[in-house]
Structure 1
Amino acid sequence: MPKDSRQGSTLWSTVLADLRTRLDAGEFTERFPSDRELVAHYGVSRHTVREAVRRLDMIERRPRVGGLVRTPPTVLRRLLDTLTALGVQTSRTTTTGEHHSVEIAGRLDRAPRTLLTVHTAVLRADGGPLICLQICSAASDSVPSELADMLLDGSDRESGQVSVVYEGTVPAAPDPEVCEALGIPTGSVTFCIEARLDLADGAPILQRAYVRPDRYPCILQFSAP
């Protein structure tokens, strides 16, 4: 256990690291401990506990009774929330198609020749295309076409219908149809926000959101796994 005789910065960072480990292990699903309980568990001051918990953005604190662990927003969600905060006017169109892709089928843990359904939504911001979102799933899973709209307006998060298995952001040269949807030359490089999602019934989804990097200034931070 950390002791208050150590440096303050070492104390809260040690508590923070342990809390993150416990969260990753699935603890606190029903309730996050109160400050009093954390002080007793770690043997540190309340100030140290609060400094550690303050850096856990997925914790919703409730005075004296502990807190709840929230699902942290996805990269796509944070981008869309930023657009909303900036007052950017958006609209979108959605289409649906089917095709085969050995690479996508493998990411979905399906057989190579599995028929895939692809829901595509193009988000326009301030009148021009900004994001081309593709939602890929096995055709047999009957994923609703409304899912793409749900991912773009945040209702998936509120309803708990989707959970994130993994996500990442990488530079990508999308297919010609995506370039056309974004209004950029074929072969252009965009950012791709890729995520493996699971629906509430267990059906796996692959999300790929291609973002034009030239519409708005942006900063990306990459860290080692």
Structure 2
Amino acid sequence: MGVRRLDRNGGESLWKQLQADLVRRVRSGEFDAAFPGELALVEEYAVSRHTVRQALGQLRTDGLIVAERGRQPRVAAVPEIRQPMGALYSLFSSVEESGLPQRSAVRVLDVRADGVIAARLNLEESIPLLYLERLRYAGDEPLALDRVWLPAAIAEPLLEADFTHTSLYNELAERTGINLDHGREDIRAVNPTAAERALLHCPSDAAVFAITRQGTAQNRSVEWRHTVVRGDRFALSAEFSANTGYRLTPAPNTTALTQAW
């Protein structure tokens, strides 16, 4: 293979030229089978190892490659599911829209007391709560571990529901007449616990999205939820333009909440 030419007389630095050419080759699928190591790129482009490392560092920052210490870089996997921000409740609608079947394995469904969660729901610490824990699948692989607490006084009819292929909000509306109309979510990228990594089949180098949600109906807190979503299978997106700036994709309407989760 001959040396690939970079413009050594122009104004753009060599590492930026190298980065741009590697991006082009990544997007063309040239490196799907294997990404070249540092020494191979040094030889192919006739540049220093420092130049190669600068270019690879930017590719890592941009999420195009994954590189661990002592291992050859590889092209980052493309997320199977992309979700607009501001409409996170439609996560599993997005799963089905991606062409993947979705189902849930119910791990726990019971009534219990949890003083910390009760306080978050603005309830007395001793108030019984319905607790539902599900492992959510997209295709044959786990996508998310979902835990949710609701006041048992309103949610107890959900103990009879089959949550293997239905949303919590559908069941809540049909069995109790309650429709969530407002909520708040906080999203962080974190490393999963060892137990979460095992349940979700997370690769050793993959982080997760930790999502906490408080849902309300007519100004009353009725849901506290903590969901861990695999970062290697899921991505968030938002829209921006020169005219409107950065904006979250809005939820289409409140009735869509009943199709969620």
For normalisation by structure 2, the TM-score amounts to 0.44
Any stretches of 5+ residues in structure 2 without a counterpart?
Answer: 1-84, 239-245, 248-261
Larger radius of gyration: 2
Task: State the Cα distance separating 1:131 from its structure 2 match.
Answer: 1.3
How many residues are paired up?
A: 150
Indicate if the aligned counterparts of 2:155 and 2:172 stay in contact, CA closer than 8 A. Answer: no
RMSD: 4.1
Pair 109,174 (structure 1): closer, same or farther in 2 beyond 3 Å: farther
How far apart, in 1, do the equivalents of 2:172 and 2:112 lie? 27
How far apart, in 2, do the equivalents of 1:210 and 1:108 lie? 20
1:182 correspondence with 2:214: no
1:117 correspondence with 2:134: no
Map Cα deviations across residues 163-205 of structure 1 (whole Å, 9 max, x no partner).
223222223456666445323499x852122221135795611
Task: State the Cα distance separating 1:103 from its structure 2 match.
Answer: 2.7
Map Cα deviations across residues 18-55 of structure 1 (whole Å, 9 max, x no partner).
xxxxxxxxxxxxxxxxxxxxxxxxxxxxxxxxxxxxxx
By relative contact order (CA 8 Å, sep 6+), the higher-ranking structure is 2
Indicate if the aligned counterparts of 1:80 and 1:152 stay in contact, CA closer than 8 A. Answer: no
1:150 correspondence with 2:167: yes
The residue identity in structure 1 corresponding to 2:95 is: L
Pair 118,154 (structure 1): closer, same or farther in 2 beyond 3 Å: closer
Task: State the Cα distance separating 1:138 from its structure 2 match.
Answer: 2.8
Q: What is the aligned partner in structure 1 of residue 183 from structure 2?
A: 165
1:96 to 109, 117, 120: 109
* Identical residues among aligned pairs (%): 15
Any stretches of 5+ residues in structure 1 without a counterpart?
Answer: 1-71
The residue identity in structure 1 corresponding to 2:184 is: Y
For normalisation by structure 1, the TM-score amounts to 0.50
Task: State the Cα distance separating 1:111 from its structure 2 match.
Answer: 2.1
The residue identity in structure 2 corresponding to 1:75 is: L
Q: What is the aligned partner in structure 2 of residue 83 from structure 1?
A: 95
